[in-house]
Amino acid sequence: MSDSSPDTLPDTSPNRDILKKLDDMLAERRDGDPEKSYVASLHAKGLNKILEKVGEECTETIIAAKDAVSAESRRELVHETADLWFHTLVMLSHLGENAQAVLTELTRRFDTSGLVEKASRKK
- Domain spans, the chain: 18-110
Q: What is the pLDDT of residue 26?
A: 97
CATH superfamily of 18-110: MazG-like (1.10.287.1080)
Query: Does residue 47 register a pLDDT over 80?
Result: yes
Task: Give me the helices (H) in the chain, please.
Answer: 18-30, 38-45, 47-66, 71-94, 99-109, 114-120
pLDDT (tens digit per residue) in 74-95: 999 999 999 999 999 999 999 9
**Alpha-carbon separation of residue 67 from 60, 63, 70 (angstroms):** 11, 6, 8
Whether this prediction's pTM lies above 0.85 is answered by no
Q: How distant, in Å, are the alpha carbons of 9, 42, 85, 89, 118 from that of 53?
A: 29, 9, 11, 12, 28
